[in-house]
Structure 1
């Protein structure tokens, strides 16, 4: 990375975008940083193949609309990403380009072409749901004779009870629960929004039993 910062203005811009723009100035969530990081990992690997040179030697003007469109097409055709994922990758690239326009006005012609790429429209399907019997079958599916199976049952029960996102559930710590009663959980959602969800008695009992099998530190992950 140090070598890249010396040889490439793209590398310098990317470092400034992540360290200064996203983290220092906007103070975005850890999840957003990780999502943007993954986007550029994929994009730079693709760009290396298309341009025939390493990311360390790329300049901002190499990131033109044709390259970005080819990357988006590759996400859908080769990686089988859905349109939502494709749009999320494009949003990360566009955010970087908006920031770069302030620092590299001489590249505005290339930047504007990338910013002109629209998000792809898609139909929003009707959200389906599982019946109570179907959900019960899922909760009973893990192998309770194994440690991971016991963990998975409690994880699924907490997910079902709280309606939380997968990312919210897997990041839960002891400190997120109502002291030692386990009767409520505090979830941290998008935009740093917090919400407290009451838990059913069955979920509470499962959590109490499971909590005896993990560490006591308040920052101990509930589902390691």
Structure 2
């Protein structure tokens, strides 16, 4: 993790040893800086090291996540029915960024995708969620429901623009 300079960010090695760099908000940077001081690791390059100071292995990350999901299930029993894995957290973060209107190319960069078409899966999922929400909504003031279909004149006008 790098704090200060050109902005706080975290560098991670992902699948196939691909490096990912994720910028942090000022608030997140400050919280992580406090975490490193509290954990007695100031100056460390590992945000969450193993007991020997090295990187966490993927199976260790999975085991820690399962432990915390079990704890969270006490407050939110619906988590019991869901499959939660580290990669699911990545997908959730991408969807949150989309809902916050972050540009898809920025999301692709943060996720470490080499091609933007890989990231467009999130865009299609996001649109499908909106469509499903619209389908469940009721018409306002007794108006006819359903999807709006533009007439030929309107479509011709729009085509001419």
What TM-score does the superposition give when structure 1 sets the normalisation length?
A: 0.24
The structure with the largest helix share of the pair is 1
What TM-score does the superposition give when structure 2 sets the normalisation length?
A: 0.30
